[in-house]
Amino acid sequence: MKKILLISALLFSVNGWVNDNNITEVQITMSDGIKLAADIYWPAEADKKNRFPVLLEYTPYRKDESRARNYSLYSYFLERDYLVVRVDMRGTGNSEGITIPYEYSDIELDDGEEIIDWLSKQEWSTGSVGMFGISWGGFNSIQMAMRNPPALKAFVALMATEYLYQEDVHYMDGILVAGDSWMMSNDLYNALPGAPDFKMDEEWVNNRFNIKPSVYSYMRQQRDGAFWDRASAKNQYEKIRIPGYHIGGWYDGYRNSLPRMLENVQAPVKAMIGPWDHYFPHNAWPEPQIEWREEAVRWFDQWLKEIDTGILNEPDFAVYVRNYHPPDPSLDKVDGFWRWEDKWPIERIENLSLYAQADHTLSIESNENTTHNITYKPSIGLEGGGPTMWWGSIAPDQKPMDEFSLVYDSGILDAPHETDQKPMDKFSLVYDSGILDAPHEILGRPIARLRVSADAPRANWVVRLSDVAPDGKVTQVVGAAFNGTHRISAREPSDIVPGEEFDLNIELHFTSWVFPKGHKIRMSITNAIWPMLWPTPMQMETTLAIGGNNGARIDLPIVPSEKKDKPSFKKPSPSPTLSNYKVLDSGNISGYAAINSIQYDQDTGEAFGVATNTGATQYPWGIERFEEEIEHRTSDDNPAHTSVTGRYKITEELKDRTLDFEQNVEFKSDEENFYLTFHRWVSINGELYKEKVWQEVIPRDFQ
């Protein structure tokens, strides 16, 4: 652990509306003298002379602007005699210092250790600290547990993974994510001065505004290795000696971590997975929602208060089993049921192998040898990747781009809406089982075992598992992609030898699904899933071996029918609200720019799609608005020339001035390189105040 030289705090109140709601502000001085800003949330009527166990949430997501969210979220813990402390990371929000260089740096985690130590030593603390958070706050809860600071007694990580390279938002499945809302916005938000003063002096310019966007760091790390290992628990689970509770969602992109944690961590572990996207389960979409904070309190009571809550006597894993639903992007509730599982892996799971046949069916037996070919179509994939592009969310309404499209006066090919996987399947190798004579439940990670070749040195493979209903609707169940240059090693990639066959075992993402009687199971295989993942640069054709010992098959983890106990979770409790905060425009349901259709530009021969989002929130000091637009373009004729251009604008309407913080991002490629440009500027009352441009050419490294 980093030696702590100096830690102090200054308690103060800057606005009455803070203390009126049992929130006090604090500065925590790090060993290098930098002060980190934090809010302490107190139980109602709390005697400041009492001692409480402390829960920490530690992110860069600006504590002052998130007070309404935090007050509502933390109330459940406050009512059960916990203090909750929310800390802005170094160089973000109201904390001092240079903006953190990238996610999960040693700077962030070293500060985290000092924060936990300081919290444990305050007169209002029992000395026991718990950590929790969703997304970034879930990631660094796991990472802090790898460091095992003495005062950290337990953590709860929601919608987070411990495997940074393969599963974070930069290189999903080992392939470059093709530019999303997070890429466009995160560094701009980190560059904002602290609210409510928005002081824009030279210190702010040097420490935030002029700091090079973190995206450049990730772009230089296109293969697995030490950069990603630094904060990944995968393959070093023995470092975690702190009890952890992991919560995931079937429509969240980080769900793979749950079974790995249950299987590999020796410290006490519990897990829960429900039918949710990237949300806290008490206000999640889709439903059903549950009061997850009750389970978190039981977990923290067990380890921070040393109360036997009975949670250790319960099975390790609570699973929401998904029943069939049609491919409906407006789905509000996922049909299914809760079930306890004692541990992971589940001993009663049986493997069902379905072999691809020459006639494009799936069968339990391998058959005649043949080879199926597919021509690479870089522009397909929206249906598989989803609107926010990370193997999460529910597939959008899509306007399929095919020969049946209609030509309109705009010169853009367009077509009636589709709502399932058929547009992508049209350009895939598709294999269907026979009609099922009984329900088939799967739980786990199906494995596609393929023998393939390509006539180009770079190729990716994408496998999707779908449910084909009697009415012909095709619902994606799960999928995964694989970078063919990683077939031997993701740390030492190597070019594909054109025409040479090789084996791939592609582990699909963690899933649950019940295929009903009368439905079919479908496996679809292709070489692109754009705009989620960046296309490989060359036109090509790939082959798939069918039949014999190495022919294509999908291994399904089948759960035999068996009566099992189920958990009884509480329904969400009403949460208090904080006055002077009001959402004026909530934007997209996901919170991110979402792409809902792909179109074809006859003039350029390019496929393109535009993702948009807006939002607005009223704060005690003014109104904040944001707007974003991201355009993705690629070409089936020349996929090397793929591009993403994004525009993100944040407007702060304050009492004395209006501030516009804007950032344009241009990200494009050719066969050899990526070209990344960030243009950032800020205006005061419409007049340009500062601007900065970064440009870099980054060689493609087996992407």
Closest C-alpha among 586, 638, 613 to residue 180: 613
412 and 295 within one domain: no
The predicted-structure confidence for 219-236, as pLDDT tens digits, reads as follows: 999 999 999 999 999 999
Compute CA distances 117 → 86, 112, 120, 275, 638, whole Å.
Answer: 15, 9, 5, 36, 55
In this prediction, residue 208 has a pLDDT band, given cuts at 50, 70 and 90, of very high
Query: Of the ranges 112-121, 249-258, 382-391, 458-467, which one carries the lowest mean pLDDT score?
Result: 382-391
Q: Which of 368, 358, 382 lies closest to 464 in space, CA to CA?
A: 382
> Is there a domain that residue 566 lies in?
no
CATH number at residue 460: 2.60.120.260
**Model pLDDT, residue 395:** 56
Give, in order, the Cα–Cα distances in Å from 254 to each of 33, 135, 250, 358, 480: 36, 9, 9, 35, 13
Res 412: pLDDT? 31
Query: DSSP letters of 139-179?
Result: HHHHHHHHH--TTEEEEEEES--S-HHHHSSSEETTEEB--
Task: Specify whether 300 is located in the same domain as 374.
Answer: no
Mean pLDDT of 393-401: 50
162 and 179 in a single domain? The answer is: no
Q: What is the pLDDT of residues 100-115, one digit of tens each?
A: 999 999 999 999 999 9
Domain boundary among 341, 360, 395: 341
d(CA 344, CA 255): 14
H or E segment to which residue 146 belongs: helix 136-147
189 and 303, same domain (yes or no): no
Q: Which of 304, 321, 341 is the last residue of a domain?
A: 341
User: Does 666 lie in the same domain as 551?
Assistant: no
Q: Which helix (H) or strand (E) segment is 690 a member of?
A: strand 687-699
DSSP 282: G
Say yes or no: 135 and 269 in one domain: yes
Spatial contact of 551 and 355, defined as CB atoms under 8 Å apart: yes
Summarised one tens digit per residue, pLDDT across range 281-338 is 999 999 999 999 999 999 999 999 999 999 999 999 999 999 999 998 888 999 999 9
Q: What is the pTM of this model?
A: 0.94
Tokens 């496929």, located at residue: 607
Nearest 10 degrees: Cα torsion 232, 237, 238, 241: 90
Does 201 map to a domain? no
* Distance from C-alpha of 628 to C-alpha of 615, rounded to nearest angstrom: 9
What distance in Å separates the CA atoms of residue 364 and residue 362, rounded to the nearest whole number? Answer: 7
pLDDT for the residue 519:
98
**Which tokens in the block code for residue 187?**
């560094």
The answer to whether residues 463 and 479 touch, using CB atoms and an 8 Å cutoff, is: yes
Q: Return d(Cα 164, Cα 169) in angstroms, integer.
A: 8
Cis peptide before 286, with omega less than 30 degrees from 0?
Answer: yes
Domains: count for the chain: 3
Average pLDDT estimate for 6-29: 58
pLDDT score, position 393:
77
pLDDT at 19 over 70: no
Q: Is 541 in the same domain as 630?
A: no
597 — pLDDT class (breaks 50, 70, 90)? confident
pLDDT of residue 399: 39
Pairwise CA distance, residues 508 & 500, whole Å: 24
- Full residue range of the structural domain in which residue 646 is found: 175-193+209-223+579-703
Q: Provide the token pair at 559.
A: 């759960």
